[in-house]
């Protein structure tokens, strides 16, 4: 973080400064990272003590101080030897400090802010954009999937005076949350990838999802750029809602950045990228045809940042993994390939992963889909799990292994399809599924492990990868 005095921080968060025992005064400078987890605190950091549903960060304030915290932001005074700022709400204070820091950097330097949202693909696209932006100068990007009211400002507070690009992944579980994040760090380039059923249960329906995702571009000024998915009808509608210049990406001829000749195999996807009258072949080693759209979105941002198409292609070709737990290729013994894609799942990403499994199966082996529940679908849950089961049948997946009671509808849907020559097996627990799979997998089998993070199948994918390493 840029250096601010204790007085400046207190003013930014509308808090009351309480001096500590070490002689720090209002003019003492603080420039450490901001943390909400005491286990992540290091020397000079700021610890924001938040109240959560299951715990209270104030209980860990002493641990944060012992780890080296130079400042506490709290909702009530705690016994501490370091300064503390008392605020009404620590989460709001975190956002307020991020807003002030970003404002100062924007006014003093040459900072470009890229905001990325969508029902699927945010983290993959963010990682690709970050790799491109690093070609132009120091870059700050969200760690992992830090995209909410906490992770967003924590990322923003990492900007420094020499930061050239800030890439903020912006997620939401309710209306207004993306607008809140964009107010903290107003994007110069706003990207919307998809509008799908991910989190639809929390949002209350697809139309609410549309309104929420469109918050990314509604408030962009005319000088900004909206990077929109031309192939997603709902995202395409957002062109009518923004004053910004619209740059399209997609597979169709109307896109400014598009792909043709898409060919998916076990070593990634090959396609030809077209932009600004130029065309170049790409070997994108991130597994799954659906990631081509993320690559195109990132390329559109790279183009807006002024990066030549040849350098954009170099960046895409250097990427080998979307993110840990996303289409991660493991295994290899006896030709058994494990694809661990269990970090997250929505109906759209589940469908895309199953298509990839069907496309890359070795002729001598089987396709095995190990599937868990898709979370946060609300009233759509039963129907969408049923639909995925039907798709597995129609794609002629050799075997379906369903794990966990919340995913049982997948199993029921598949076994009710009499024309299928494959089979489906249900297991209540991961341990049972692991034991079954290690006994029954054959040479050259290709195995997809896919679920929402809450279902916990990422660990199952890792165990299978280790077993067949």
Helices 381-394, 408-415: crossing angle, 10 deg rounding: 40
**Encoded tokens for 29:** 């400078």
Cβ atoms 177, 153 nearer than 8 A: no
Cβ atoms 216, 170 nearer than 8 A: yes
Degrees to nearest 5, angle at CA 311 with 152 and 236: 55
Q: What is the DSSP string of 305-320?
A: TT--HHHHHHHHHH--
Annotated binding site for ATP: 118-124
Cβ atoms 346, 118 nearer than 8 A: no
**Encoded tokens for 58:** 């104030």
Annotated binding site: 118-124
Question: Starting at the edge strand that comes first in sequence, how are the strands of the sheet with 446-450 ordered?
Answer: 328-331, 337-341, 446-450, 367-371, 399-403, 423-427
Q: How far apart are CA 98 and CA 145, in angstroms?
A: 18
Q: How far apart are CA 118 and CA 114, in angstroms?
A: 14
Cβ atoms 337, 266 nearer than 8 A: yes
């Amino acid at each position: 973080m840029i250096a601010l005095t204790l007085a400046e921080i207190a003013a930014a968060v509308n808090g009351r400064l309480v001096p500590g025992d070490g002689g720090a005064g209002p003019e003492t400078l603080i420039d450490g990272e901001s943390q909400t987890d005491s286990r992540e605190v290091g020397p000079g950091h700021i610890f924001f003590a938040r109240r959560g549903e299951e715990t209270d960060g104030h209980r860990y304030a002493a641990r944060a101080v012992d780890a080296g915290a130079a400042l506490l932001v709290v909702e009530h005074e705690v016994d501490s030897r370091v300064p503390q700022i008392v605020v009404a709400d620590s989460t709001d204070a975190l956002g307020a400090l991020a807003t002030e820091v970003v404002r100062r950097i924007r006014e003093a330097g040459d900072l470009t802010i890229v905001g990325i949202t969508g029902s699927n693909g945010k983290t993959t696209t963010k990682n690709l954009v970050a790799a491109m932006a690093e070609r132009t100068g120091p870059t700050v990007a969200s760690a992992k999937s830090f995209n909410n009211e906490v992770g967003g400002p924590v990322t923003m507070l990492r900007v420094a005076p020499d930061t050239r690009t800030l890439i903020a992944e912006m997620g939401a579980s309710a209306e207004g949350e993306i607008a809140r994040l964009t107010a903290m760090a107003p994007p110069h380039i706003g990207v919307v990838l998809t509008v799908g059923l991910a989190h639809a249960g929390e949002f209350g329906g697809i139309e609410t999802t549309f309104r929420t995702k469109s918050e990314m571009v509604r408030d962009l000024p005319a000088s900004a750029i909206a990077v929109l998915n031309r192939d997603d009808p709902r995202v395409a509608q957002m062109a009518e809602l923004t004053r910004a210049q619209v740059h399209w990406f997609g597979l169709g001829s109307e896109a400014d950045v598009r792909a043709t000749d898409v060919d998916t195999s076990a070593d990634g996807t090959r396609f030809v990228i077209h932009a600004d009258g130029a065309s170049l072949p790409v070997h994108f080693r991130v597994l799954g045809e659906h990631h081509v759209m993320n690559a195109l979105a990132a390329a559109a941002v790279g183009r807006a940042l002024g990066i030549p198409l040849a350098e954009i292609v170099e960046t895409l070709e250097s990427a080998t993994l979307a993110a840990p737990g996303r289409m991660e290729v493991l295994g290899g013994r006896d030709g058994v390939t494990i694809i661990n894609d269990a970090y997250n799942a929505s109906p759209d990403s589940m469908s895309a992963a199953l298509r990839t499994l069907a496309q890359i199966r070795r002729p001598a082996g089987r396709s095995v889909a190990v599937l868990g529940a898709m979370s946060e679908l609300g009233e759509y849950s039963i129907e969408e799990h049923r639909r995925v089961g039907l798709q597995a049948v129609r794609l002629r997946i050799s075997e379906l292994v369903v794990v966990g009671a919340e995913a049982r509808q997948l199993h029921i849907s598949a076994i009710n399809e009499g024309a299928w020559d494959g089979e489906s097996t249900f297991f209540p627990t991961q341990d049972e599924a692991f034991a079954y799979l290690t006994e029954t997998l054959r040479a050259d089998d290709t195995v997809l492990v896919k679920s929402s993070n809450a279902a916990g199948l990422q660990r199952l994918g890792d165990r299978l990868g280790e077993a067949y390493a």
